[in-house]
A and B are shown apart, each in its own frame.
Chain A
Amino acid sequence: MRKAFPVSTALPVTGGRAAQSSLAVKVSRNGRTGPIAASTVLAGTTMSLFGISWDIQWHVDVGPDTFFTLSHLMLYSGSAVAGIASLAMVLIATAAQRAGQSVDRFPGGKPVRVLGGVFRAPLGYLITGTGAALFLLFGLLDLWWHSLYGFDAVLDSPPHIGLFLSISFSMVGSVIVFAAARDTRWGRAGVILSIPVLIVFSPITTKAFGALPLPVDPDLVGTVLFATLLLILGTLTIGRRSTALTIAATLGVLQLILWWFSPWAARVYADATGLPLRDNLGDDPPELPSGIPVFMLIAAAAITALLWLSRKRGWSGRVAPQIMGAGGGAVVGLSLPIQSALFGDSGPTSAELLKMTATGAVTGVLAGYLAARLAVLLREHATASVTKGR
């Protein structure tokens, strides 16, 4: 990252000969720039995810809150890390282009003209950086909201939803960054790591609809939609049959780590600050990790089997993703009430199981439709020539 700062002195320099000596050009041509920047963004978004899970568990297990609890700081730092890395990459791309270097293959996705061409921003970093900038704005709005309402009484206040959306944008940017490098091993690994982070985080935003009188819990619909969409998106973007299973297995590992981390961090921090745990905590499972679908490997197996069948029968890409979505979505939908019962809720009725399976299948069709088209957009651009072999 440090190498990025002298870029500002290179900004006014233009012309092919200058391109040879520009630091920005050297950095942009270095094969390590792409993986280092992308990993930094992923580290930031993962910090945000762990921060939110810790914070939610803190509210459940301990309670007292300020703007500067460690879990809040972890949440803020995640966006800051992702945002600074993205800003650095946008500045390097801009400076490299001004120094005469073509940035068509610059890591991070298709270069986009920003502010009438003042900046050249790789699409992934543009979206990650925009998410981080919006996080700052919504942070200020949240501070004002707390001055009116007090601290963090509800998760689904308008500024909180704005903050969650901002973090989700950063995570979407991270997927785009890695997808652009899908021809490299680190790019594919990044897609497989960044998609589970987004699967866990994105349904939080659907809590905004929680107060509406809907026939199905929007949180559950959001979980089915994002989990199915992102599984299919990852599979079709990388183009390998095993991808859905690998993503689901990674999601399971992430769930296990969050399951251990969130209550552990809440209790250690409570000990360190001399605060007691709440009375009557019971043995409820950790709040956020227990909402992550636990049967995703079965859903991924269904999606993989339907992909195999589609290829064998020669089904068109116009139809096959929706069939994969219906199968995967139905499994996720059916599994959610069973999962709730396993974690202590009352057992689901057969009518409820039927309703959630049907909701899952319908939501899955939409997820498959969107996933295929988004995969086409992601596959538009590749940065293999810059980063191949890394």
Chain B
Amino acid sequence: MRSARFPLLLAVALASGRVRDHARRLAPAIVAALALVAVSSTPATAYAPVGVVHTERVKAGPYTVTVGFSEWPLRAMESLDFTFAPADGLAGKSGRLTLDGPGIDADDRETPLSRHPRKRDVWGLDVQALPEPGAWSLTFDIDGRAGHGRGTLPNVTVLDQPGPPLAISWTVCAIPLVGMLAYLAVGWRRNKPSERVAALV
């Protein structure tokens, strides 16, 4: 056993000496590479601006609101940004937004109009997903110096979700759970815990 280990240890010792020499030479290059990665990845960590690719106009009494969409056409379950820009700015105005469409959660239906977190000069919704395809509507109730106004953007078409059918995605993601349950079932059958549970309490 010792004779088999000696060459191995010798090789490890020699190799570790060489590795140290290489490491000394490589260290500046590694530091430079890491710095480059850090610098180049900085833009990827920045928060993306709100891109508006399509707009619609809604008349809410005395107010005109421009509704901006970050994607068009809209698809179910996508992460969407909406912007709501009154013609003469947000100053002195408040209001509520009512979203209506298939599958909407009751808690999400009505919300106060709030500034978009990444575009503070307009109201908006960020990372908002519309759960199901179909006809959706956005209703604005706005209060301001010109009084109260209500207007609806009807029949906003939401297409089917992108990507593979949900059943496939759920099946793939359930594989580990099924595997773990199968593993537990095998352990259960081998150890038969029900036979020994009587003396447990």
> Which A residues lie at the B interface, using CB under 8 A?
9, 12-13, 15, 17-18, 59, 62-68, 127, 134, 138, 141, 145-146, 148-154, 157-159, 161-162, 165-166, 169, 208, 211, 236, 275-276, 278-280, 307, 310-311, 315-318, 320-321, 372-377, 379-380
Contacts and interface: CB of A to CB of B under 8 A. Distances in A.
Contacts of B112: 279-280
Contact of B79 (A149, A310, A316, A380): A149
B172 A141 contact: yes
A321 B48 CA distance: 53
A280 B172 CA distance: 39
Nearest to B117: A63
Given A62-B117, A278-B117, A372 B44 contact: no
Contacts of B163: 145, 148-149
13 contacts: A15-B1, A17-B1, A63-B127, A149-B129, A151-B79, A158-B169, A162-B172, A162-B176, A165-B173, A236-B200, A280-B111, A372-B193, A376-B197
B191 interface: yes
B45 A374 contact: no
| Shortest beta-carbon contacts, A-B, top 6 | A150-B79, A153-B79, A153-B129, A279-B114, A376-B193, A317-B200
A275 B117 CA distance: 8
Given A141-B172, A153-B79, A377-B187, 18 more contacts: A9-B8, A12-B8, A13-B1, A13-B5, A66-B45, A66-B47, A138-B173, A150-B80, A152-B127, A153-B127, A158-B166, A161-B173, A165-B177, A279-B112, A279-B114, A310-B201, A320-B201, A372-B200
A154 B78 CA distance: 9
Contacts of B8: 9, 12
A157 B201 CA distance: 41
B46 A66 contact: yes
A276 B120 contact: yes
B31 interface: no
A169 B80 contact: no
Given A15-B1, A141-B173, A373-B193, A150 B127 contact: yes
B126 A152 contact: no
A64 B194 CA distance: 51
Main secondary structure of the interface of B (DSSP, over half): mixed
Nearest to A59: B127
Interface in B67-86: 77-80
A317 B197 CA distance: 5
A290 B108 CA distance: 19
Contacts of B149: none
Contacts of B129: 149, 153-154
A30 B28 CA distance: 39
Specify which of B12, B48, B120 lies most central, judged by the most chain A CB atoms within 10 Å of its CB. B48
B196 interface: yes
B162 interface: yes
B170 interface: yes
B201 A380 contact: no
Interface in B121-179: 126-129, 131, 161-163, 166, 169-170, 172-173, 176-177
A158 B131 CA distance: 14
B176 A376 contact: no
B80 A153 contact: yes
Contacts of A13: 1, 5
A365 B129 CA distance: 38
B162 A64 contact: no
A151 B201 contact: no
Contacts of A377: 187-188, 191, 193
Given A236-B200, A316-B198, A373-B188, A64 B47 contact: yes
Given A66-B47, A151-B79, A374-B193, A159 B173 contact: yes
